[in-house]
Amino acid sequence: MSDLDLSLYLVTDPGLSRGRSYEFMVEEAVKGGVTVVQLREKNLSSRKFYELAKSLMSLLKPMNIPLIINDRLDIALAVDADGLHIGQSDLPYHIARKLLGKDTIIGLSVETIEQAREANRLDVDYIGLSPVFSTNTKRDINRPLGLSGVKEIASFTKHKTVGIGGINNANAKSVIASGAHGVAVVSAIVSHDNPRKAASELKTIIDSAK
């Protein structure tokens, strides 16, 4: 999808949102400038995940903001989501593409330079560079790529890129300056007292770096 705007990519995490609902957090974040939302949920039943995804689709569709489902192709299909994000150990890309069709956004996490090179053989819509910095929100990942890793991948990848992992107001500009098309954040927005304000401040930083 050539017009996919990855500038400020929100990844949900109920454990960090201080009891506030998904719908509240997502709507406030989008009003602040978030351009893509990924629903990531490891602990809900399939029924509850489906109902939540359906609710977020209803919220985001009129706002023209894509909803990406993390990992669960069945949920993405069930709610006709805009996209699916997969990791290196998830369903193979070619199977996901075959089932979802050519118009659905598919993103792929890459955790090493080698994985980013291998991704050049795939027709994914973007790659998530994970993690750029160390982070507490996801522990089952490789050592951080750092800004040098972002810069190296940006030099050869054919894909749009979004950095994730430990990104906040203090370092978002450097990630964009290193060649990423956007940054993905979790706690920098969902743990903030005012998620709309947090998103707005981040979006201003990102836009100024481009």
- Please state the domain extents for the chain: 8-209
Write out the chain in H/E/C secondary structure: CCCCCCCEEEECCHHHCCCCCHHHHHHHHHHHCCCEEEECCCCCCHHHHHHHHHHHHHHHHHHCCCEEEECCHHHHHHHCCCEEEECCCCCCHHHHHHHHCCCCEEEEEECCHHHHHHHCCCCCCEEEECCCCCCCCCCCCCCCCHHHHHHHHHHHCCCEEEEECCCCCCCHHHHHHCCCCEEEECHHHHCCCCHHHHHHHHHHHHHHHC
Residue % of the chain over a pLDDT of 90:
92
User: Model confidence at 131, in pLDDT bands (50, 70, 90)?
Assistant: very high
For 145-167, how does the pLDDT look when each residue is reduced to its tens digit (9 = 90+)?
Answer: 999 999 999 999 999 999 999 99
Which pLDDT score is estimated for 161? 98
> Which two structure tokens, joined as six digits, stand for 206?
């990102």
- Indicate if the pLDDT at residue 190 is higher than 80: yes
- Of the given ranges (17-26, 41-50, 132-141, 190-199), which has the lowest mean pLDDT? 132-141
Which residue is it, tokens 């593409």? Answer: 97
**Mean of the per-residue pLDDT values for the chain?**
95
Active site residues: 40, 109, 138
pLDDT at 138 over 80: no
CA–CA separation, 186 and 15 (whole Å): 11
What confidence tens digit (pLDDT) does each residue in 58-107 have? Answer: 999 999 999 999 999 999 999 999 999 999 999 999 999 999 999 999 99
Counted residue by residue, the chain has a size of 210
CATH superfamily placement of domain 8-209 = Aldolase class I (3.20.20.70)
Phi, psi (rounded to 5 degrees) for 42: -100, -15
If pLDDT is split at 50, 70 and 90, which confidence band does 142 have?
confident
What is the mean pLDDT of the segment spanning 99-128?
A: 98
Q: Report the pLDDT averaged over residues 28-34.
A: 98
